[in-house]
A = this chain, B = another copy of it.
Amino acid sequence: MAVSTITDVEVQGDRLTVGWADGRRGLFHAIWLRDNSPEPDARDPRNGQKLFNITDLAPETVIAEAAIDGPLLTVAFAPDGHRARFDGAWLKAHCYSAPEAAPERRLWGAELKEDLPTARYDAVVADHAVRARWLGHIRDLGFALLTGVPAEPGMVCRVVDLFGFVRETNYGRLFDVRAEPEPTNLAFTGLRLSCHTDNPYRDPVPGLQLLHCLVSENDGGESIVVDGFKAAALLNEETPDDFALLTRHGVPFRFESEDAVLEARAPLIRLDDRGRVEEVRFNNRSIASFDVGAAIMPAFYRAYRRFAEILQRPALEVGFRLEPGDLFMVDNRRVLHGRKTVGGSGHRHLQGCYADKDSLLSTLRLLEAR
């Protein structure tokens, strides 16, 4: 008997309780079951979309009858007389009275250098399993390298085509990163760039950033990535009050040039509704004036400094040198990137672009379902 087979069901008016073969039990409310009916008059069988509004259901919906029918649970509702069959495994996966714990995230530091998440471009193009593995690194680690990408202009967008869509911005569909005489952005100099997330002044912030190396005849300029989720976890462990301050208060970010004035507000560490870190936004260059109240300001600055110090710890840093044909992608809401000072007189030329994570995850789900 499959572990998701329902072995017993007990109806209690506006709810029912089921037991599965593995001993787990789950409670489901009548209104929840009615609202999640998979029947063709409730959900369009062609596209899975729900065909009614919550206001179409009676508030006093109860369960008239429930019975086990092989792998299915059949439920009849009152007062509307609707009948629905639920798959036991689906109910188990959506059980909300005793949900399964979310899987632990893999956080990483300098040790990732020993086993960089890498794939070869031609294999990612040709082999769906390799592509899924490579995209899986972004989902699981927020960072992945790609080697052997033809060192030709525009290829960075072709890589995005493998899983999603370029996010065009005022920087264009792609942008060139090289030392410029009149830089509109410090990225376009040889200066060291401390670790940051990109475009924090944008709402929505780009979910993914790709950088592709075309020329690297310079000295220095090594790339660095840091797991912002790991840094946030350390802050929470070491000084939880600092962590709480940075999650509770937003800060403004701003960028101004001749053709754009961009402003956004976000906490440096954003939690989701279940208290998990869902975003780190950090960029010393474009952070604007803090506006937390005067009573909080000194503590907020201490928390900001502490977080910046953690982000600079060598134990968190993964460094590597991009050679022509190398590309890296980061989850820009998790992983910070930076570069060391670009030295020497040799040329250095990267191309970068932005994309969003929803399409990447969609592609990954489709590939993993094959």
Most chain B beta-carbon neighbours within 10 Å: one of A51, A165, A182, A302: A165
Number of interface residues of A (CB under 8 A): 87
Bound: A204/B170 CA distance, A: 18
Given A49-B285, A204-B356, also A168-B165 (CB < 8 A)? yes
A218 at the interface (CB under 8 A from B): no
Give A207 Cβ to nearest chain B Cβ, in Å.
7
Binary B-proximity of A159-175 (CB < 8 A = 1, otherwise 0): 00000011111100000
- The answer to whether A274 and B286 touch (CB under 8 A), given A31-B301, A293-B97, is no
Known A55-B308, A308-B54: A291·B358 in contact at CB below 8 Å = no
- Beyond A53-B194, A261-B365, A305-B59, whether A29 also contacts B297 by CB under 8 A is yes
B96 touches A49 (CB 8 A): no
- Counting every copy of the chain, the complex holds 2
| Most chain B C-beta atoms within 10 Å of own C-beta, residue among A99, A250, A260 | A260
What is the minimal beta-carbon distance from A7 to any residue of chain B, in angstroms? 20
Bound state CA distance, A199 and B185, in angstroms?
A: 33
Mark contacts of A288-313 with chain B using CB atoms, 8 A cut-off: 1 yes-contact digit, 0 otherwise: 01111110011001101100110010
CB distance from A17 to the nearest CB of B (A): 10
Verify if A8 is at the interface (C-beta below 8 Å from B). no
Q: Does B284 contact A52, Cβ atoms closer than 8 Å?
A: yes
Task: Tell me which of B27, B29, B291 contacts A96 (CB under 8 A).
Answer: B291
Q: Determine how close the nearest CB of chain B comes to the CB of A255; give it in whole angstroms.
A: 8
Cβ-defined contact, B301 with A29, below 8 A: yes
A259's closest neighbor in chain B, by CB? B366
Partner of A267, one of B273, B284, B294: B273
Complex: A36 Cα to B289 Cα, angstroms:
7
